[in-house]
């Protein structure tokens, strides 16, 4: 079972479950991008320039959630596509500021859990509505990924 939970810094005791599904990771389009923050310095008379590792790590994690098909903290049943749209455009307001994203992914040995620290929602797209089930495409941008529970 794949579970994505956001713990806002403003209210860590009130997590928001974004997804809780038994669908395969390939079905939810789970994607990961790791970046090191570096600075390039020109050579200025030297044979070559220099890349300076600033020691900062930025990680981007994205996944898809089909509302009314995947679980969430407060299940939402939409009466029509308009109601689904109104819910979708208000979604970023419910994830304000920064926080911690917890991802629990299925493994052969059970479940593996990671925590994306110091993250915020970078992008939320709703590219289609399948009847009254909108597809939410979440992208979170954060710092360090750890397997140790941060709180």
d(CA 29, CA 17): 18
d(CA 137, CA 121): 11
d(CA 112, CA 115): 10
Domain boundaries along the sequence of the chain: 2-146
d(CA 116, CA 33): 12
> 14: how many CB neighbours lie within 10 A of its CB?
9
In order along its 151 residues, the chain shows pLDDT tens digits of: 899 999 999 888 989 888 888 888 888 999 999 887 778 888 777 677 788 877 678 899 999 988 776 655 456 678 888 888 888 888 766 677 899 999 999 999 899 999 999 999 999 888 988 877 888 899 999 999 999 999 8
CATH of the domain spanning 2-146: 2.30.110
Q: What is the pTM of this model?
A: 0.83
């Amino acid at each position: 079972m794949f579970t994505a939970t956001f713990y806002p810094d403003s209210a860590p005791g009130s997590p928001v479950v974004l997804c809780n599904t038994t669908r395969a990771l390939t079905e939810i389009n789970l994607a990961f991008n790791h970046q090191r923050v570096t600075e390039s310095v020109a050579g200025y008379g030297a044979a070559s320039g220099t890349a300076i590792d600033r020691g900062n790590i930025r990680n981007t994690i994205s996944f898809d959630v089909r509302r009314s098909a995947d679980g969430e903290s407060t299940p939402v049943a939409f009466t029509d596509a308009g109601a689904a749209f109104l819910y979708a455009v208000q979604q970023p307001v419910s994830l304000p500021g920064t926080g911690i994203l917890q991802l629990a992914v299925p493994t052969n040995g059970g479940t593996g859990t990671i925590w994306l620290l110091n993250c915020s929602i970078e992008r939320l797209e709703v590219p289609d509505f399948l009847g009254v089930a909108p597809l939410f495409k979440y992208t979170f941008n954060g710092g360090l990924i750890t397997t140790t529970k941060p709180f």
